[in-house]
Amino acid sequence: MNPICSKFIQPTVNAIGRRIALAQTRNTYIFRHVFVPPATPPGQHQRPPTELQNFRKYELVEEETEKPADPLKVILLQDVEGIGHQFDIVEVDRELARNDLLLTKKAAYCSPFDLKYYGDMKERMKEELAKRVRIPYEYLKIGRELQKLVVPLHVSMDNPWTLNRSIVTASLRQMGVDVLDNGVFLPKETISGPNFDYEAKLTRFYVVINKQYIVPMIGRISHISADDSKQALYPDAAKQPSEEQLR
């Protein structure tokens, strides 16, 4: 290309690019007069704004991007964890709606057409929706936190014992988890002691949240004694067991 032509074409291309970028950005600015022009008396023509230079001076009052955008109302097309169930109408952050829910077709805009369309669909699916078992999101969060724990099940070195609900609930309370006895379920296998063959043995038990959600948990047998001269054979602080240990 001729260097002279390139010299003139390049700035033109850059200017066009800047115009395109500006055209794709939609913002709202609110201005007001620095010097407010007098009101036009009834029956007279309005004074031209070019009459005085001061009447053409403005100051910025507000810019759209300076304040957070209002949430966006959408219709959920499927159950979305932490947000709502299918056909719920919810208000969510605009970034979440535009970059996730709408793009992945998990939700639709609350337009008049969509409100009627999905409202009719919800009515047709009324029986199917009533049969669905839905676990509250709060229960799911609690269950995930519980499943991260390996609970030391403290049993006596000196006195006979059989692993039961009372031992499990007491061990859970020592870790800050308050559970009723009837909310704990143990496997059918009987574990009794003192028996050091069971020391550090992993055992599965289940906790029921509000009689609705069953959470599988892991306990580790840990013998303890009131005699300070005796030491536990396995530390209470344990890491999450591997898949091989759980077999």
In a shared domain, residues 81 and 104: yes
Last residue of a domain, one of 131, 150, 177: 131
E strand or H helix at 119, and its extent? helix 112-124
In a shared domain, residues 13 and 62: yes
Token pair, residue 188, equals: 């059918």
Per-residue b or e along 172-210, where b marks 16 or more CB atoms closer than 10 Å to that residue's CB = beeeebebeeebbebeeeebebeeeebbbeebebebebe
- Please give the pLDDT value at position 69: 77
pLDDT in tens, 31-81: 888 888 888 888 888 878 778 888 888 888 888 777 777 899 999 999 998
Q: State the total domains in the chain.
A: 3
CA angle centred on 239, ends 233 and 244, rounded to 5°: 95
pLDDT in tens, 110-140: 999 999 999 999 999 999 988 888 888 899 9
In a shared domain, residues 59 and 90: no
Last residue of a domain, one of 40, 66, 92: 66
Positive or negative torsion for Cα 19, 21, 24, 26: negative
Query: How many distinct helices (H) and strands (E) make up the chain?
Result: 7, 11
pLDDT in tens, 134-175: 888 899 999 999 999 999 999 998 899 999 999 999 999 999
- Please give the pLDDT value at position 246: 60
| Residue 162 lies inside a defined structural domain of this protein | yes
Task: For residue 121, give its domain range.
Answer: 72-131
In a shared domain, residues 115 and 35: no
Confidence of residue 6 (pLDDT cuts 50, 70, 90): very low
pLDDT at position 23 over 50: yes
- Please give the pLDDT value at position 17: 56
